[in-house]
Amino acid sequence: MSANESSKPTPPVPAPPAKPLPRKLPAPAAAVPAASTAPVSSDAAKWGRVSEDGTVEVREGENWRVVGQYPDGTPDEALAYFVRKYEDIAFKVQTLEQRHQAGGATASDLVKQAGHLVDEATDAAAVGDLAGLLERLLTLTASLSEATAEEQQRAKELLDQAIAERTALVERAEAIAARDLSKVQWKQVTAELGELFDAWQAQQQNGPRLSKGLSQQLWKRFRDARSVVDKHRRAFYSELDDTHKAARDAKTRLIERAEALAPRGTDGIPAYRTLLDDWKAAGRAGRKADDALWARFKAAGDALYAARAEQSAAEEAESAPKIEARQALLEEAKAVADESNIKRARALLTRIQRQWDEIGRIFPRDKERALDDKLRVIEQALKAREEVDWKKNNPETKARANDMSSQLLEAIEKLESELATAEKSGDKKAIKEASDALEARRAWLSALGG
């Protein structure tokens, strides 16, 4: 061994620990307030002593316990070394007390750390108030035990709430699956089920952890409900695809028939209208497909109606002089009403009607109908005059009128005689009756032209 090596101080040797104190500390009858968290100061002379051979002891009550040896240093250095050991433990206790008061960690985690510190402080190779540290740990452990119970109760409440919420999601999904899925709006149902699944995932990620058995049981119910809905949705859209395909095929054939009408021009319009009725009955082919198919079908119809528009324009241009000719005849026909001689009025109207027909058809048809309606008013007015004249000059009517006049004259003569007799007698009642009857017969005779 070299001289340098022999001059190095021998490191202190802690004494073997005595029989350790029990790990599990008895709980106090009532919760003890947490100890002060002020830094701990040690009075080395009060809690420790050093023998001549460097053996260091700590005072525990009335007894002294050997904690180790520091043979190559002064007594002050020996005590200082073991006091630092104590202060290290005291610092840990103080830190644990502060964490509990701050509330940043769960009580269950702090209880475990407190247990480790109890082990570390019990029979520690350190100089200081170890009994005081153990007392503080006892107080802290009691407080943590109460907080742990509260945490466990809160955790149970949160777990019960999570189970209730997860069960409610399952029941809502099952209620959707229990509907008559042949009559639902699938867009709405899909959105509802998607919201439930999102809520399920959020609870699974952020909520308390359920037991494996219960979690699997609830998930199976939720999954089965989704499977029922998905099965019906796939069947619905599969059937809808078939329906859309049939409609697409039918409308494609109608388009081909409509496009084939193009060479027929205006004559193809009635057939196109029939195809339009078939188009409406063909059903839906899906929004995008319907828009594209309708554009083609409408284009075929537009070509036919464009041909008709051209034809109508040509016919209207051809009809312009005919319209002017008929308007001139209408001006001439106004004289029919002014002609007092019915026979001459009829002759004038007959000539106008013949010339009217010789002009020919007019397009558009609504203009022709408007002109015809104006001429028909003149025709009906003359016809009404002819009926009145015929009734007035009919021989049979005249004979009946003459016979009635004779009868009325005889009745009037008789009533005049009765009135004269009544006036002579002064019979007021007879006078009134004869006067009323005589007035009525004279009115009738006047109506017959007598």
DSSP conformation letters of 361-407:
--SSHHHHHHHHHHHHHHHHHHHHHHHHHHHHH-HHHHHHHHHHHHH
Q: Which residues of 163-192 are buried (b: 16+ CB within 10 A; e: fewer)?
A: beebeebbebbbebbeeebeebeeeebeeb
Q: What is the Cα–Cα distance from 361 to 343, expressed in whole angstroms?
A: 29
Cα(193)–Cα(198) distance, rounded to whole angstroms?
9
Indicate whether this model's pTM tops 0.75.
no
- The confidence score (pLDDT) of residue 2 equals 40
Cis peptide bond prior to 16, omega within 30° of 0: no
CA distances to 188, 211, 369, 385, 386 from 380, in Å: 67, 100, 16, 9, 10
| Neighbouring residues of 411: CB distance < 8 A, sequence distance ≥ 6 | 441
Mean pLDDT across the chain, nearest whole number? Answer: 82
Under 8 Å between Cβ of 338 and 290: no
Residue 149 CA to residue 155 CA, distance in Å, equals: 10
How many CB atoms lie under 10 A from the CB of residue 338?
7
Closest CA relative to residue 95, chosen from 108, 104, 84, 83: 104
The single-letter DSSP state of residue 265 is G
Give the chain's residues under pLDDT 50.
Answer: 1-10, 13, 15-42
Render pLDDT for 283-317 as a digit per residue (tens, 0 to 9).
888 888 889 999 988 898 898 889 888 877 887 88
